[in-house]
Amino acid sequence: MQQEQAAIRAMIERIRQVVTSEEKNLEDFIEASTLAQTVLHHTSGEGHPAMSVLKEGMDKRYWPTMLGGCRTVLMLFDNDALDSPRLRVARELEGDVLDIAETQVRAAEKILDPTQKEIRLAVAGFLAGSALEDALRRLCDKVRVSYEAGRTSLSKLQAALYSPSSGVEHVSVSEAKQITTWGDTRNKADHGNFREITQTEVVTMIMGVRSFIERHL
């Protein structure tokens, strides 16, 4: 995903260079229009209205139409309005994971055996933490913050998004504190400290992660 985002940004900057250049020719517009169509293909899909405009301009070799289509793509990109089918799928998967976590909590409420109850709550905390970690990676991609792919953790992603000393505040101070708290619950589940996990903290975590995703993604 990070590599794809970088490729899209490179195409956008080339389109911007052509559109803002004082010296333009038909070949430049063809290049920019082709790149703009590629950006739409990888984000919003073939059915986006701007795609038909770009295709019409290309078919007729009419540069004002191509220019208008390119400017539209730039405006949409700059305003985070190019939605990606992959991101929609990611949101759906995160929602599914949180739904399963809630199911585990409800099951724990009905179990009398303390050990089984602890295991259910730990599973719910682990799943909620997994959904949060995925959401934080997507938020880093969205705000163009780099992170070490394959070696991420909640604490590392949090630091990438919130580091006031470095002028980085993509999440609020209260959200950063919440992420720390949720990370503690996730760590207790990861390291087998099931007895330390309470039903209240897991329920609060699931609700909080849902709210965080809705606000930022």
Note the pLDDT of residue 4: 74
35 and 93 belong to one structural domain = no
| Least confident stretch, 19-23, 85-89, 146-150 | 85-89
99 and 199 belong to one structural domain = yes
55 and 97 belong to one structural domain = no
10 and 51 belong to one structural domain = yes
Q: Calculate what percentage of the chain has a pLDDT beyond 70.
A: 94
Domain boundary among 25, 43, 78: 78
97 and 203 belong to one structural domain = yes
185 and 114 belong to one structural domain = yes
92 and 199 belong to one structural domain = yes
Spell out the long-range contacts of 10-16 with Cβ–Cβ below 8 A and sequence spacing 24 or more.
11/35, 11/36, 11/38, 11/39, 12/39, 12/73, 12/74, 12/77, 15/39, 15/70, 15/73, 15/74, 16/74
39 pLDDT more than 60 = yes
pLDDT class for 66, splitting at 50, 70, 90? Answer: very high
Arithmetic mean of pLDDT, 39-59: 87
| Least confident stretch, 36-45, 113-122, 187-196 | 36-45
1 pLDDT more than 60 = no
71 and 90 belong to one structural domain = no
Domain boundary among 52, 78, 104: 78
What does 151-174 look like in DSSP terms, one character per residue?
S--HHHHHHHHEEGGGTEESS-HH
90 and 68 belong to one structural domain = no
Segments forming the whole domain that contains residue 10: 2-78
Output the domain CATH number for residue 183: 1.20.120
100 and 206 belong to one structural domain = yes
Domain boundary among 78, 102, 126: 78
Note the pLDDT of residue 214: 85
pLDDT digits (tens, 9 = 90+) for 153-189: 899 999 999 999 999 999 999 999 999 999 999 999 9
108 and 162 belong to one structural domain = yes
124 and 47 belong to one structural domain = no
Note the pLDDT of residue 175: 96
Between residues 89 and 63, the one the model is more confident about: 63
Arithmetic mean of pLDDT, 111-121: 94
Report how many domains make up the chain.
Answer: 2
CB atoms under 10 Å from CB of 27, counted, come to 9
